[in-house]
Structure 1
Amino acid sequence: MFRGILLASTCVPALIAAPVSAQEGAGAEIAQAADRAAAPAEPQEGAAIVVTGSRAIRDGSQAPTPVTVISSDALTKAQPGLIAEGLNQLPAFRGSTRPTGGFTAATGPGTGSYLNLRNLGTQRTLVLVDGRRAAPSARDGSTDINLLPEPLIKRVDVVTGGASAAYGSDAVAGVVNFVLDTRFTGLKATLQSGISGRGDVPTYKASLTAGHSFAERRGRIVASASYYDAGGLQSVAERSWGRRATGFLSNPAVPGQLIFRDDLRASTAAPGGLILSGPLAMQQFAPDGTLVPFSRGTLQSGLIQVGGDGAQVFSNLSAAIRTQSYFAHGEFDVTPTLTLFGEGSLALARNHYNQVQQFNLGGFNGFTIYSGNAFLDPSVQQVLTATNTPAFAMGRLNFDFGDPANATAKARTMDFKAGFRFTGPSDLLVEGYYGHSKNRTKIRTDNNVVLERLYAAADAVRDPASGQIVCRVSLTNPGLYPGCVPLNLFGQGAPSQEAIDYVEGTAAYRTDFTQDVADISVRARPFSTWAGEVSLAAGGQYRRIELDQVSDDIGPSVNDATGIRGFPAAYLNQPGGYLLTNVFPVSGGYHLWELFAEAAVPLARDLPFLHALDLNAAVRYTDYSTSGGVTTWKAGLVWEPVSGVRLRGTVSRDIRAPNVPELFAGTFRTPAR
Structure 2
Amino acid sequence: MKTFSKRALLRASAAPAILGASLIATAAFAQEAPQGAEAEATDTIVVTGSLIKNPNLERSTPVTATSADQIELKQNNTAEDILREIPGIVPSIGSAVNNGNGGASFVDLRGLGSNRNIVLLDGDRLVPAELNGRFDLNNIPVALIERVETLTGGASTTYGADAISGVVNFITKSDFSGLEGTISNQLTEQGDGNYFRADVTMGANFDDGKGNAVFSIGYQQSDPVYQGDRSFSIFNVDSYSGAIGGSGTATPSRFTGTNPSGTATGNGTRQVTADGSAFRPTTAFDAFNFNPYNVFQTPFERFNMFGAARYEISDAVEAYTRGIFSKNTVKTIIAPSGIFGAAVDIPLSNPYMTAAQRNAFCQRNVATPTQIAAGVYTPLYTQAECDAAAVATDPNDPNYREVTTAMSRRATELGPRISEFTTTFFDYKLGFRGGITDTISWDVSGAYGESEQAQTQKGYWLTSRVRQALQATSTTDCLDTSNGCVPLNAFGPDGSITPEMNAFLNANSQVVTKTSLAQANATVSGDFGWAVPFASDAVAFAIGGEYRKYAASQESDLLSQSGDLGGAGGAAPNISGGYDVYEAFGELIVPLVQDKPFFQDLTLETGIRYSSYSVDAPSSPSYKTTTWKAGGSWTPVDGFKIRGNYAHAVRAPNIAELFAPVSTALTNLGTDPCSGSAPLNDANLAAVCIAQGAPASTIGAITNDPAGQVNYTGGGNLDLKPEKSNSWTIGAVFQPSGLRGFSATVDYFNIKIKDAITSPTPGDAVAACFDNITASSATDSACTSIRRNPLTGELFGESLTTPGLSLVTSNLGKLSTDGVDFTLNYQTDVGFAKLALSLLGTWTNSNKFQATSASYNRECVGFYSVNCASIQPEWQFSQRSTLSFEKFDISLLWRYIDSVKYEPKQLADDLAAAEVAGCSNPTTTDEDGCMVDPEFRKIKAEHYFDLTGRFHVSDEITITLTAQNLFDNKPKVVGNTIGSTSYNSGNVYPSTYDALGRRYAIAAKFRF
What is the TM-score of this pair, normalised by structure 1?
0.79
Once the two structures are superposed, what CA deviation does each residue of 1:238-258 show, in whole Å capped at 9, x if it has no partner?
211111423522xxxxxxxxx
1:549–1:265 CA distance, 2 compared to 1 (3 A): closer
Instruction: State the distance in 2 between where 1:220 and 1:584 align.
Output: 47
**Residue type matched to 2:316 in 1?**
T
Taking a change above 3 Å as real, the CA distance of residues 78 and 468 of structure 1, as seen in their structure-2 partners, is: closer
Return closer, same or farther for 1:342/1:265 CA change in 2, 3 Å cut-off: closer
User: Deviation digits for residues 611-638 of structure 1, max 9, x if unmatched?
Assistant: 5433211110011112231111112232
**Which residue is equivalent to 1:44?**
38
CA contact (8 A) 1:172 1:656 kept: yes
Match of 2:290 in 1: 313
Provide the rounded CA distance (Å) in 1 between the counterparts of 2:149 and 2:113: 19
**Aligned-pair distance for 1:608?**
6.3
Tell me the equivalent position of 2:545: 540
CA distance, structure 2, for counterparts of residue 514 and residue 323 of structure 1: 21
Contact 1:100 1:111 in 2 (8 A): no
Residues 238 and 246 in structure 2, CA contact (< 8 A), matched pair in contact too: no
Alpha-carbon distance in structure 2 between the residues aligned to 1:606 and 1:272: 82
Distance in 2 of aligned mates of 1:38 and 1:77: 27
Pair 1:295–1:310, CA change in 2 (3 A) = farther
Contact 1:69 1:158 in 2 (8 A): yes
1:62: how far off?
Answer: 4.6
Does residue 73 of structure 2 align to residue 77 of structure 1?
Answer: yes
In the alignment, is the contact (CA less than 8 A) between 2:339 and 2:567 conserved in 1? Answer: no
Q: Following TM superposition, by how much is the alpha carbon of 1:584 offset from its aligned partner in structure 2, in angstroms?
A: 2.1
Looking at structure 2, the residues matched to 640 and 345 of structure 1 have their Cα atoms a distance apart, in angstroms, of 41
What's 1:510 paired with?
A: 512
Greater alpha carbon shift after TM alignment, 58-67 vs 150-159: 58-67
Per the TM alignment, residue 122 of structure 1 is displaced from its structure 2 partner at its CA by: 2.5
**How has the CA–CA distance of structure 1 residues 655 and 38 changed in structure 2, closer, same or farther, with 3 Å as cutoff?**
farther
Relative distance call for 1:620 and 1:383 in structure 2 (3 A) is closer
Partner of 2:554: 549
* Segment of structure 1 superposing worse, 271-280 or 170-179: 271-280
For the 8 Å contact 1:38–1:68, the answer to whether it is kept is no
Aligned mate of 2:591, from 589, 602, 621: 602
Measured after TM superposition, the shift of residue 165 of structure 1 is 0.3
> Which residue in the other structure is 2:93 paired with?
97
Contact 1:579 1:671 in 2 (8 A): no
1:65 to 61, 66, 70: 61
Distance 1:184 1:485 in 2: 63
1:324 Cα shift? 0.9
The residue type equivalent to 1:589 in the other structure is: G
Q: Is the 8 A contact 1:237 1:243 kept in 2?
A: yes
Alignment partner for residue 274 of structure 1, among 249, 254, 266?
A: 254
Alignment partner of 1:164 out of 150, 153, 156: 156
Q: Return the offset for 1:293.
A: 4.3
- Residues 395, 318 of structure 1: alpha-carbon distance in 2 compared, 3 angstrom cutoff: farther
AA at the equivalent of 1:286: T
Q: Which residue of 2 aligns with 1:124?
A: 116
Structure 1 residue 212: Cα displacement: 1.0
After superposing the two structures, state which structure 1 stretch, 153-162 or 524-533, moved more. Answer: 524-533
The answer on whether the counterparts of 1:270 and 1:395 sit within 8 Å (CA) in structure 2 is no
Equivalent position of 2:465 in the other structure: 453
- Partner in structure 2 of residue 524 of structure 1: 526
Q: 1-side partners of 2:184 and 2:412: how far apart?
A: 40
Change (3 A) 1:429 1:92: farther
Residues 519, 632 of structure 1: alpha-carbon distance in 2 compared, 3 angstrom cutoff: same
**1:290 to 2:277 alignment:** yes
Which residue of structure 2 aligns with residue 205 of structure 1?
197
Identity over the aligned pairs, expressed in percent?
25
1:227-280 CA deviation, whole Å, 9 max, x = no partner?
Answer: 1000113x411211111423522xxxxxxxxx6x252234x4431023554323
SS in 1 for 2:115: helix
Amino acid at match of 2:144: L
Letter in 2 for 1:265: G
Contact 1:221–1:330 under 8 Å retained in 2: yes
Equivalents in 2 of 1:632, 1:154: separation in Å? 31
Secondary structure of the residue that 1:654 maps to in structure 2? Answer: strand
- Taking structure 1 as reference, are residues 519 and 554 closer, same or farther at Cα in structure 2, changes over 3 Å only? same
Shift of 1:282: 6.2
Give 3-state SS (helix, strand or coil) of 1:91's partner. Answer: coil
User: Among residues 169, 181, 185, which one is paired with 2:173 in the alignment?
Assistant: 181
Q: Are residues 1:663 and 2:658 paired?
A: yes
Paired residues of 1:273 and 1:394 also in contact (CA < 8 A): no
What residue number does 2:955 align with? none
Residue 38 of structure 2 aligns to which amino acid in structure 1?
Answer: Q
2-side partners of 1:157 and 1:553: how far apart? 44
How far does residue 640 in structure 1 lie from its aligned partner after superposition? 4.2
Amino acid in the other structure paired with 2:584: L
Other-structure match for 1:238: 229
1:625 to 1:163, Cα distance in 2 relative to 1, 3 A:
same
Given candidates 236, 243, 246, the residue that maps to 1:265 is: 246
State the shift of 1:182 in Å: 3.0
Q: Verify: 1:438 aligned to 2:450, yes or no.
A: yes
Q: Alpha-carbon deviation of 1:180?
A: 1.1
Distance 1:199-1:142 versus aligned 2 partners, 3 A rule: same
Q: How many residues align?
A: 581
Matching residue of 2:957? none
Amino acid at match of 1:78: K
Q: CA deviation at 1:191?
A: 0.9
Q: SS at 2:508's partner residue?
A: strand
User: Distance in 2 between the 1:157 and 1:616 partners?
Assistant: 20
Question: Residue 648 of structure 1: which of 625, 631, 643 is its match?
Answer: 643
- The worse-fitting range, judged by mean Cα deviation, of 153-162 and 59-68 is 59-68
The offset of 1:439, in angstroms, is 1.2
What is the DSSP-based 3-state SS (H/G/I as helix, E as strand, rest coil) of the residue aligned with 1:554?
A: helix
Partner-residue secondary structure (3-state), 1:663:
helix
Gaps of 5+ in 1: 1-20, 26-36, 53-57, 250-258, 298-307, 558-574
The answer to whether the aligner puts 1:140 opposite 2:169 as a matched pair is no
Give the unaligned 5+ runs of structure 2.
Answer: 1-10, 17-27, 261-267, 365-378, 382-402, 616-621, 668-708, 710-1008
Amino acid at match of 2:652: A
**Distance (Å, rounded) in 1 between the aligned partners of 2:117 and 2:105:** 13
User: Would the alpha carbon gap of residues 195 and 468 (structure 1) be closer, same or farther in structure 2, given more than 3 Å must change?
Assistant: closer
Which residue of structure 1 aligns with residue 901 of structure 2? none
Deviations 1:407-429 (A, max 9, x none): 00111111211112213545323
- Structure 2 length normalisation: TM-score? 0.54
Q: Within 2, Cα distance between the matches of 1:309 and 1:549? A: 39
Q: Any idea what SS the aligned residue of 2:573 has? A: coil
User: What SS class does the counterpart of residue 444 from structure 2 fall into?
Assistant: strand
Greater CA drift, 391-400 or 328-337: 391-400
- The CA distance in 2 between the partners of 1:438 and 1:506, in whole Å, is 26
CA contact (8 A) 1:100 1:112 kept: no
> What is the distance in 1 between the residues matched to 2:362 and 2:80?
63
Distance 1:151 1:373, change over 3 A: same
Go from structure 1 to structure 2 and tell me whether the alpha carbon gap of 1:282 and 1:468 turns closer, same or farther (over 3 Å shift): closer
Secondary structure of the equivalent of 1:184?
Answer: coil
1:284 is displaced (CA, Å) by 3.0
C-alpha separation in 2, matches of 1:166 and 1:444: 39
Supply the distance in 1 between the matched residues of 2:73 and 2:281 (Cα, whole angstroms).
Answer: 52
CA distance in 1, matches of 2:597, 2:67: 38
- Superposed counterparts of 1:456-467, under 5 Å: 456-458=468-470, 460-462=471-473
Once the two structures are TM-superposed, the CA of residue 370 in structure 1 deviates from its matched residue by 6.3
Higher mean C-alpha displacement, 411-420 vs 424-433: 424-433
The residue type paired with residue 524 of structure 1 is G
2:349 paired with 1:349: no
1:66-104 superposed Cα distances (whole Å, 9 cap, x missing partner): 111111221232343334302211122232332353224
Q: 1:294 to 1:505 in 2, by over 3 A?
A: farther
User: Are 1:50 and 1:130, in contact at CA under 8 Å, matched by a contact in 2?
Assistant: no
